[in-house]
Each structure stands twice: as structure tokens, then as C-alpha cells.
Chain A
Amino acid sequence: MSQTNKWTVKDVITTVLLTVLLIFIQLVVNMVCMVNDFVSMVLSVGFTMLLCAPVYFLMVSRVRKRFVSLIYMTILGLVFLIMGNWYLLPYYMAVGAVCEVILWKNGWESKKKITAAWTVSSLLYNGVNLLPLWFFWDTYEAFAISSGMEQSYIDSFVRYYSSAGWLAFIVVFTTACGFLGSIIGGRLMNKHFKKAGVL
């Protein structure tokens, strides 16, 4: 089949539909996880990456064009922008660019490359928790002290991000989830989508 890099209407619509699905899954996972600190800070990104991997695989291998990941990450960033975390837009665009670099040379043909792209973005995805914390921490600390909270109580909120052990665990956990998700995604591609003739 001839491969042109021009985006058709079909590519645009497929990318947008699946992107919205991806974002929807993420927001739901985030909302549910916010209830508990441990789950939201340590586990939520991993869960998201695990669930989203098959959708991402499908999107990349269906559209088979450059810039799919960049468009996805940009739309994701825009959603965060509308929710007030504007700094996540440039951050996610950068993550998207990294994925593009990995997939640049017909990466959609190779499962290994898609797996690599998704695993790397899983690692970088932790920014969704870390950046707002980093941006907003001083404000919160000032507020918390003035409300009479004890320093140890305030600091306990960031215990997962301040201890090296936890930090290492988070990084390993999310990356592993992303990797596992990619393996599952790759399996599902063969089992269903290739067989159904949609790839």
C-alpha cells in the first residue's frame, strides 16, 4: 500500500475520537483516585497507563502517520489548560515530541517501537502529579502553616515524593505498568484488530 504522510479526514477523525477516549479514561481514573493520597500519588498513573495502552496502540497502528502522538498529547495538554494547569500543555507537548522521535521512521510498523514510546511516556506521565505539586506547594505550605497545621503533618502529604525509596517505587511501578499495558496492547492488536481487518 502506498504510504503518504498527508493527513486525510479519516485520520483526523480517528485520532480525535480515540484521543478523547484516552483522555476520558484518564480523567475518570484520576477523579476516582483523588479520594486517597496513596492511590492517587503512587498508583493512579500506573493504572492509567495500563488501561490506556491498548487504545494508544490501536490509534498509532490504525492511523499510521507521523504526529499522532503529538496531536494526542497536545489535546491532552489543552484539556489540562482549560482546567487551570497551563504548564502541563508545554510539558505534554514535549512528551509527545519524544514519542514522535521514537516513532519517526515508520514506528507504527514495529510493536517494539510503540512499546518503547508508550513506556517512556509512562515514565514522563508522572508529571501530571508532580508539576502541579511543584507549582502550588509554596502556596499550600503558607496556607497550611497559617491554619495551624504542624510541619510534620504538612510534609507527610509529600512523603511519597520526598523519599528516595518511594520515588523509585513510583518510577518503577508506572514504567512497569506502561510496559505491561503495551504487551497486552500488542497481544490485543493481533488477537482482535488485525483479525477483524481494521489495521
Chain B
Amino acid sequence: MIRLNDVSFQYASGLGGVSEINLTVHEGECLVLTGPSGGGKTTLTRLLNGLAPSYNAGKLTGTIFLNGKSLAQTPQFALARQVGSIFQDPKSQFFSSDLAGEVAFACENYGLPGEEIQKRTNHAISAFSLDDLRFQNLDVLSSGEKQKVAIASVYALRPNIYVCDEPTSNLDREGSRQLALILKKLKAEGCTLVIAEHRLSWLRGIADRFVYIRDGKILWERSAAEMEHLSAGQRKADGLREIIESRNMNVSFSMNHGDKRPILCVTKLSCKRKKTDVFCDISFSAYAGQVTAITGHNGVGKTSLALVLSGLWKEKSGQILINGVKMRPGERRKQIWYGSNDTGTQFFTNSVTEELLLHLERSEERLERTRSLLKRLDLYRYKDAHPASLSGGQKQRLSIACGILSERKILIFDEPTSGLDGGNMGIVADVLQEEAHMGKAILVITHDEELIRCCCDCLIKIDEYGNRA
């Protein structure tokens, strides 16, 4: 059992933190912390696993009790044996390129005897059914599999509390589904789970209680049953994502494009990288004035398709027509914008404004447009900040803004909403729709069905054999 008694925490940098937190987490319970980005969810998880204040320096007042003992005297490494932590981005957490080495990592740190480590490692690997990956290089796994490996490594240490900080923000739908199964299993074994998350629907059937945190304070608590009956209006007001995944995609996509000619027309496109076919024979059209969603399983080559379309990769065969003219990759790069999902390496200048106007002529009209777009995306406050100092969700919105201001006619965005809370997702959906109405063709690669429902006019599904609309 964890009990927080009037806990406040202020980071040494002076930004963010939580205040006056009173919270009890019972043994074997699954508690979900939710609320808008930057509201203090992550800080709370850090308090529980001891990273704050031992790693992220700051000032802590109040007391945290773990099974009746105050944590103030417990060093972080001792706490980490009882409280396992799972983070956002599994790809930059590994210390080893092979599965067994990575899973054993935590046990090795505590100097467990060799046989014990082997026993625990093998058990964790089979418990998470990772046996097939034993001789694979970890770098080539999918993000879902990587997250599984990260959890297995914590599992080998056998903590009885797990703290997860937005574990799905880098996972696709399949990855989230697998993660849900694993958390269910942990819960069945009697472990306590604390999950900070804004995607809520995948937690159905696992979560027992939801706690809403905003501006560093707990505003309300609801049970899982109460959450399911939350009205859409209340949900919107709190900026929350969907709680129940809608079963049917109850949107009628009009296949009627009028008599307009498509702006982008792709016929029999195939791509080959390093002697393996990534995708083959894809044909579709996209129209100006519409937002087109591209979905499909993991690994069918959606991102590769976007890279080929935008001229960053070369196609093997097939043709791509823009306004009826066949274009080579170099020419396509000038016409089509590709907004990658990875925002860590996208920004080159030292302020948000510079970034948006990079290599663009600064006419008064464009400056005005930049200003209004920044305000719209709630980034105006940060117009002089360094892009690297923004949070993940803010970077995603900045990347979208860069695409819009590039003045290219066709914009492709890869999972643009993976790290956004409900409120911001709504804003992005609106902005995309507005841009489409101004005559651009927008393609969105996404698993986010909420986003598809909000703004997409047309859906393309890619599978192993090609695609269908």
C-alpha cells in the first residue's frame, strides 16, 4: 500500500511540480493518473519510484509511506527493488543488444548470484513469451516488442509495484493491446499498478480507479464504472481522451469526390529496401480539400509509403502523379511535406519562430499567418523558446505548424497525435481540417481512431497485399 500525505514537490529549476497531494493506492489496485500534459502526472510517478528527488532534484515536503514505512530514509536503489518503473520511449533505455543481457540488467546491478539471475531471466523471458527473440538484435524489434523487453527486465527483479509513465506514447495499437495483456497478467499476480496516461481506452478492464491531475493538483477521482458513464461534454471539458473504444467506425466516408481531378495519384507503387519488399502495388488517389487517413497493421510499410511519396526514398516501380504530372523523387520533395513521428531530430534553429520561418521569405502576411497559427496551436507563449526545450506534445504541434507553413500543397503527417492529450488532439484535428478546406491535400498516417473520426474524410487501409479504400 502506498500513501501520500500532503505531499508537495517543486523542481529545482522552478518549473512544474505537484502540490498538496493526498492519495492512497491499495495493494493489488490499478490506479490511472490522467489529465492534460504538463499537469504533474509524470512528477507524481517520479515521486513514487524515488527518481524525484534523488535523480530529478527538487524540494519535497510531506511524507510518502510505502507499506507503512516513510520513504524519506530509503535510498533510491533500495526503493527500486520494490517499485519497478516503465517509461515512454523503450528504444533509448537499453544497455544491451541482446535479449537475455537486457532482461538480466537490473538483477546484475543488485549483484544477485549468477544462478539466481539466470533463473529469473529465463523465467521472465518465458513469462512474456519472448523466447523467439532470444537471438535477435534488440534494435530491430518493433516498439511494442521493445516495451515488452523493458517490462520483462523490471519483472525479473520481482517488484510488487509497477509505475508506468505514458507507456503507450511510442506504441501503435497492436503494441498497446499487447501491453494491456501484460498489465492484466501483472495485476492477476497481485501487483499494484500506477499508470500515468492520457490514452485511456486501452486500459479498459485493467484500471480500477482514475485520478485527474491538473496544474499539480488532484481535482477529482472516479472509479472505472463512473468513468464509463462520463458524458462526452464533461470529457471534452477536462480534455480527456475516449474512455471506451468505439466499436464501429460510425462515420460515412463519402467516396464521392465530385468531378475534381485528384491532386495526388499513385498507381502500382512498390518499394524495395535491402532486397526485401516493403510494400507492393499500392494505388490510390488523394484530393485537395480532404483529409485522408492511412491505416494498417504494424509493419505493412505505412511510414515507408510516406517516405517514398515525399521523395525521401526511391520507389522500385509504379508512378506518382501530382496534378497529373509524373514527378521524380527530387521534384516530389518540393511538393510534398513529410512530418515524421520522431520529433527529436526535426528542429535545426534556436527558436520556435526561426524554425517556422527557416528559409522562407519573411513577408508581413506570412508573419501574421505564423502568429495566428502559433496562437491556434497554443504555442505562442513559446515563440522565442528553443525547440529542444519544448515538451513532446508541443514538439509534435510545432512539427505540424512547420508543415503547414511550408506552403506545400500535399502534407503527410506520421502519427501526429501520439503524444497529445484530448484537448490538443481536438485542436490538431480542427487545424488539419481547416488547412484541407483551404485547398491542401492532407494525408495522416494514424492508428488514432478518435482522430480519424474527428477530421478525416477518407480512409485508406493498407495490408500485406496492397490497399483498399
Contact = CB atoms under 8 A, between A and B. Distances in A.
A195 B12 contact: no
A127 to B, nearest CB: 34
B350 interface: yes
B386 interface: yes
B389 interface: yes
Interface string B371-412: 000000000000001111100000000000000000000000
A195 B47 CA distance: 28
A1 B12 CA distance: 8
Interface string A179-193: 000000000000110
Q: How large is the interface on B (under 10, 10 to 19, 20 to 34, 35 or more residues)?
A: 10 to 19
Contacts of B389: 195-197
B386 A197 contact: yes
A192 B386 contact: yes
A198 interface: yes
A30 to B, nearest CB: 26
Contacts of B57: 1
Nearest to B390: A196
A198 B388 CA distance: 9
A10 B351 CA distance: 27
Contacts of A10: 55
A198 B389 CA distance: 8
A58 B13 CA distance: 20
Nearest to B95: A13
B462 to A, nearest CB: 37
A195 B389 CA distance: 8
A191 B12 CA distance: 23
Interface in B1-41: 12-13
Interface in A2-47: 10
Interface-centre pick from B13, B55, B350, B351 (highest chain A CB count, 10 A): B350
Interface in A108-124: none
Interface string B117-160: 00000000000000000000000000000000000000000000
Contacts of A196: 350, 386-389
Contacts of A1: 12, 57
B388 A191 contact: no
A1 B55 CA distance: 14
Contacts of B388: 192, 196-198
Nearest to B54: A8
Nearest to B388: A196
A192 B350 contact: yes
Contacts of B387: 196
A10 B388 CA distance: 19
Interface in B331-363: 350-351
A121 B13 CA distance: 34
Q: Which of A1, A10, A197, A198 has the most B CB atoms < 10 Å from its CB? A: A197
A195 B386 CA distance: 6
Contacts of B55: 10
Nearest to B349: A192
A47 to B, nearest CB: 23
22 contacts: A1-B12, A1-B57, A10-B55, A191-B350, A192-B350, A192-B386, A192-B388, A195-B350, A195-B351, A195-B385, A195-B386, A195-B389, A196-B350, A196-B386, A196-B387, A196-B388, A196-B389, A197-B13, A197-B386, A197-B388, A197-B389, A198-B388
Interface of B: 12-13, 55, 57, 350-351, 385-389
Given A1-B57, A10-B55, A198-B388, 14 more contacts: A1-B12, A191-B350, A192-B350, A192-B386, A192-B388, A195-B385, A195-B386, A195-B389, A196-B386, A196-B388, A196-B389, A197-B13, A197-B386, A197-B388
